[in-house]
Amino acid sequence: MISSMDAMDDLRDGLVQTSFTVIAALSRVAAEQDMSLTQLRMLGILRDREPAMAELAAYLGLERSTVSGLIDRAVQRGLVRKTPDTADARSVRVSLTAEARRMETRVIVDIGDLLAPMTDRLTSSERKRLTALLAKLLDQ
């Protein structure tokens, strides 16, 4: 019989092993787009929101000055735009450009292709269950 501690260790190990595989896939896709993993994360965050620079820094867990440099490089590449925040004149909001939206489609396909060897092992109902469990873990 497996003790609850052994089960927790197995769960943690499984999560860590999975995260390594996912991070490797994301890093590969980022490199193919001539981006860092952090830049890819930033674009992923901007997919469904237009945060202020301070909010984006909090999402990424980075200092504002670091995020400012990330944003400036992304602006130069034509991937993001900065707009004044209508609610706070001192703040700037960040959003994806049409070019980034076009790149997003390719990136999603590439990530899916790299993760398919893992996800294709699951049945449709297992994928739905895993999706629900991951959402619960992430409190979504």
Distance of CA 23 to the CA centre of its chain: 10
Report field, pTM of the whole predicted structure over 0.85? no
Work out the angle between the directed axes of helices 37-45 and 64-76 (0-180°, nearest 10). 90
Tens of each residue's pLDDT in the chain, 140 residues: 557 778 889 999 999 999 999 999 999 999 999 999 999 999 999 999 999 999 999 999 999 999 999 999 999 999 999 999 888 888 899 999 999 999 999 999 999 999 999 999 999 999 999 999 999 999 86
Fold of 4-137: Arc Repressor Mutant, subunit A (1.10.10)
Q: Where are the domains of the chain?
A: 4-137
Calpha distance 64→61 (Å, rounded)? 9
